[in-house]
Amino acid sequence: MKRSVRQFVAIVVAAASLLGVARVWAQSMNIPGPMSVRFVGTIQPFAEKKESDLNILIVYVDSQKLMFNVTEVYTNGVRDPAGLLLSHIWPQELYFSGPARRLEPFKNSANLGKRFTIEGFLFTGDNMLSVMAVKVG
């Protein structure tokens, strides 16, 4: 019994140290991790946009292409008044992912042009937003 407990402890210590090494490696390589964000704005049908519209993102939900006019950005619960986060999303495109029930409001044409509050985890390296909550109106 003592031997199996020692083996278990040794495995846990080895796994924890490997995870620590992987995390340090990812940070040293500047691999961005997910960031908790909240976007507020209106979603409209896609139309060609002007290059100077820095607050407009092209959003992909499955095969649908939409325009998202972002009016407010919050990162980790703090408002980003200058929109600095938007300048780090290049090209100005986001791919929304998540369960079908969370993506359904974007597919409903009756919601287009309304105010959306979208919360999720942003992966800037992949331009992907894992949608965790959506509020329309």
Task: Indicate whether 97 and 44 sit together in one domain.
Answer: yes
* Residues 81 and 56 reside in one and the same domain: yes
CA-CA distances (angstroms) from residue 83 to 1, 36, 62, 89, 90?
58, 15, 26, 11, 13
User: Could you tell me if 107 and 69 lie in one domain?
Assistant: yes
CA distance 49 to 46: 9
Q: Do 39 and 21 fall into the same domain?
A: no
Provide the pLDDT for residue 54.
76
Q: What is the mean pLDDT of each run of 10 residues along the chain (137 residues)?
A: 73 62 48 85 84 82 95 91 83 95 96 97 92 96
Do 72 and 100 have their domain in common?
yes
Instruction: Specify whether 8 is located in the same domain as 72.
Output: no
SS3 content of the chain, % helix, strand, coil (to 5): 30, 40, 30
Q: How far is Cα 61 from Cα 96, in angstroms, rounded to an integer?
A: 5
Say how many domains are in the chain. Answer: 2
- Residue count of the chain, please give it: 137
Could you tell me if 2 and 42 lie in one domain? no
* Domain with 10 in it: 1-31
User: How many whole angstroms separate alpha carbon 19 and alpha carbon 101?
Assistant: 33
Are both 119 and 95 inside the same structural domain?
Answer: yes
